[in-house]
Amino acid sequence: MTDIAARAAELRDQLNFHIYRYHVLGDPVITDAEYDLLYRELQQIEAEHPELITPDSPTQRAGSDLSEDFPKVRHPAPILSLSNAFSEDDLRAWEERNLRLLPAGTKLDYTLEPKLDGLTIVITYENGVLTQAATRGNGELGDDVTANVRTIRNLPLRIPVNRDGPHPPEKLVVRGEVMFLKKDFEKVNRKQDELGLPRYVNARNTASGTLKQKDSRITASRPLTCYVYGVVQAVGAKWDKQWDILNALRDFGFPVAPGVGYYPTLSDIIQQLPTWESRRIQLDFEIDGVVIKVNDLRLADELGFVGKDPRGAIAYKFPSEEMTTKLLDVVVTVGRTGKVTPGAKLEPVFLGGVTVSNASLHNFDQVAKLDIRIGDTVIVKRSGEVIPYVVGPVLGMRDGAERPIVPPEYCPYSGDRFVQPEGMVDLFCPNPQCPERLYRSIEFFVSRGALDIEGMGPQTVKTLMEKGFIRDEADIFYLQREPLLELEGFADKKVDNLLASIEAAKHRPLAQFLTSLGIDGVGGVVATLLANHFGSIDALMNASVEEIDAIEGIGPVLAQSVVDYFADPYRRRVLDKMRAAGVNMQAEQKAAASNKLAGLAFVLTGTLPNLSREQATELIEAHGGKVTGSVSKKTSYVLMGDSPGSKADKARQLGVPIIDEMAFRMMIEDGSNPPSPGQPPLL
Ligand code: IVH
């Protein structure tokens, strides 16, 4: 057997094993993305060596989700699937292959649609009335779920929805996707909470279960949504372009997913991809990519199929956010509040566009609950900007050599015994002078989201602490030029720059200074509320819990945490020392419009539709953000307009989100927040 044949056989075996784990046991040992990778590799080998295709190859299997519970419906045309692209190169190769199959000189234009992460539904309208709805099934036969689909509130039971809308064709069979909007899925889970039932983890599976309820009252009680994107059959109507179909569907009153667009070239499409990727988490619905379709339906038809995938459309899948890898070790970090966080050392894995070798394990309580062990194969997830975290172990991959994770008893930095406060899941180092806690709070104090002292990265902080130059935050403002110059690697220019940024940091707005203190629970938003209300550190320092609690947006726990902070004599000494060094502790006159962009750095590129460069800069600054000239890993967002320069490419390279004016306005106007570190879902 040749190497290639052997590899194909191996892939077949692996894929069949994973299909069994997934569909029969309901206990997959790899993620969907990993499955995709294997599947794709096999598909590619088979495309190049068709003689290696065997009848048991998973590529020859037409997927089916038929169930015994429903009558069957024959679809008027096969319900096809899509092949996948994972990169710009894949898309270009797709277009080149297509162009080779079409007459010389053909130009292709495209539609771009979100790839909704739900279930295919095929719905029939006769003379404008919904008469039947079926699942995809095996592509030829589907389950008749008409009663359930009728409960989907955004789907018209009769078209056109508007009386003066277009005349309905005699028969119209449309294809769409059924799913839960994110907020509706959360609602369903909140109901589970109330009933004391376990939460649903996977929205797509839950939507599938909901759609296939035998009792349609159960379906009706759960808020499913449907978006329609295609026509399977039309009697008495004909469209030549996919873009016309999308518009016609909308004119009939069908729900069409927001964000669908027409683009004259593949390059235009490719330009949109980063925006979609970065906007993905702001959308109301889950998408796992975008679908690119040849607009000219006659050409699409001419292109034909590969297996069950039409050549005229392709799914561009976003980099996976979930992968499995080996847990090599667990390290313990102590944060500035003393909180102990177990961190996973992982076998490096490519995840969401970057290589990940560290992930959070949250706390030892969670580690114990999930029974995560060293040596386990674990699922790692990363969504948006959030630090990757370990979802849980893949129990099916254990070989017995795994070792339990034992929480440490003593702080490795201060030697103090860890404590676990009543009712809390976290362990804490109780010593405020713990060198690691000090280091972490100083590191935070100078960081970008806090006082933002340029030239004072974690390494510099470490050096200055080790050399005894700083023992607390206030010492930073007493650093002298001459002694610094004695330090290795601290040349004239570096020292001058550092001292200049420290000088500048003395004059930060009160809210920013307050944020930098790292008081438990006091981030940018709360700091702004406090600064606006009290106007100075002095006033805040002498405030009571009741006074603070009375501020709209602040609760008693937070108020207590603020009071505790300022009651600590050590904190007061440090603050006095800073005041003596000339650090601003007063609110300035002109308050920011909001703090929504606090800590975010923007780079502008291209021409925005409604804002000049100056206006955009002003807006960003008024909302607490800042604008810098060039893209780096520290850039939070690239705000992209028409004809963007190389900055957009650089941003994509570095994994910096790219937003357009609409997404940017969403951030400051609708209160829809940019991706921010959040808690992972409870398991
Ligand atoms: S077109 C031949 N358009 O993705 C046309 N599919 O991975 C094939 N999907 O089975 C489908 N959004 O369930 C199309 N805008 C969209 C879609 C979409 C989601 C789903 C659909 C399909 C799967 C293929």
pLDDT category, 304, cuts 50, 70, 90?
very high
Q: Is the pLDDT of residue 675 over 50?
A: no
Domain with CATH 3.40.50.10190 in the chain: 601-669
682 CA to middle of ligand 1, Å? Answer: 30
Average pLDDT over residues 430-441: 92
What are the angstrom distances between the C-alpha of 252 and each of 164, 165, 247, 294?
10, 6, 9, 23
**Which DSSP state fits 161?**
S
Given this model, what pLDDT does residue 57 score?
83
The CATH number of 322-404 is which of 2.40.50.140, 2.102.10.10, 3.40.50.620, 3.40.50.720?
Answer: 2.40.50.140
What are the angstrom distances between the C-alpha of 298 and each of 91, 269, 304, 312?
20, 21, 10, 10
Average pLDDT over residues 279-298: 90
What are the angstrom distances between the C-alpha of 41 and each of 44, 47, 250?
5, 10, 38
pLDDT category, 63, cuts 50, 70, 90?
low
Pocket test for ligand 1, best of 178, 243, 291 (most atoms within 8 A of CB): 291
The hierarchical CATH code for the domain 510-580 is 1.10.150.20
Name 665's Cβ contacts closer than 8 Å, sequence gap at least 6. Answer: none
| 388 burial via Cβ count (<10 Å: 0-12, 13-18, 19+) | buried
Q: Closest ligand 1 atom, CA of 118?
A: 13
Per annotation, catalytic residue among 115, 241, 293, 596:
115
Domain with CATH 2.40.50.140 in the chain: 322-404
Which residue has the least CA distance to atom 12 on ligand 1?
A: 115
Q: Give the pocket of ligand 1 (CB within 6 Å).
A: 80-82, 113, 115-116, 120, 177, 229-230, 291, 310, 313, 315
Given this model, what pLDDT does residue 504 score?
94
Q: Please state, in angstroms and rounded to a whole number, the distance separating the CA atoms of residues 131 and 229.
A: 19
Which residue has the least CA distance to atom 11 on ligand 1?
A: 81
Maximum Cα–Cα distance across the chain: 88
The hierarchical CATH code for the domain 435-505 is 1.10.150.20
pLDDT category, 51, cuts 50, 70, 90?
confident
Name 239's Cβ contacts closer than 8 Å, sequence gap at least 6. Answer: 231, 245, 248, 297
- Torsion angle of alpha carbons 367, 372, 378, 381, nearest 10°? -10
Q: What is the pTM of this model?
A: 0.55
Given this model, what pLDDT does residue 683 score?
23
Question: Is the CB of residue 245 less than 8 Å from the CB of residue 176?
Answer: no
Name 506's Cβ contacts closer than 8 Å, sequence gap at least 6. Answer: 477, 581, 582, 583, 584
In a 3-state reduction of DSSP, which class is residue 525?
Answer: helix
422 CA to middle of ligand 1, Å? Answer: 50
81 CA to middle of ligand 1, Å? Answer: 7
Cβ atoms within 10 Å of 658's Cβ, excluding its own: 27
Domain with CATH 1.10.150.20 in the chain: 435-505, 510-580
487 CA to middle of ligand 1, Å? Answer: 61
Pocket test for ligand 1, best of 115, 173, 297 (most atoms within 8 A of CB): 115
Nearest residue to 263 via CA among 115, 116, 114, 108: 108
Given this model, what pLDDT does residue 681 score?
24
Pocket test for ligand 1, best of 177, 227, 297 (most atoms within 8 A of CB): 177
| 258 burial via Cβ count (<10 Å: 0-12, 13-18, 19+) | exposed
Given this model, what pLDDT does residue 404 score?
95
Domain with CATH 3.30.470.30 in the chain: 72-317
Angle at 291 between CA 104 and CA 44, to 5 degrees: 70
50 CA to middle of ligand 1, Å? Answer: 26
Domain 72-317 has CATH 3.30.2270.10: no
Given this model, what pLDDT does residue 670 score?
43
Q: Per CATH, the architecture of 601-669 is what?
A: 3-Layer(aba) Sandwich (3.40)
pLDDT category, 23, cuts 50, 70, 90?
low
Question: Is the CB of residue 102 less than 8 Å from the CB of residue 299?
Answer: yes
The CATH number of 2-60 is which of 1.10.287.610, 1.10.10.60, 1.10.599.10, 1.10.1060.10?
Answer: 1.10.287.610
Q: Residue 115 catalytic? A: yes
**Between 20 and 392, residue with greater pLDDT:** 392
Domain with CATH 1.10.287.610 in the chain: 2-60
Sign of the dihedral defined by the CA atoms of residues 101, 107, 111, 114, in that order: positive
pLDDT tens, position by position, 628-674: 989 998 888 888 777 677 887 787 678 667 676 766 775 775 433 33
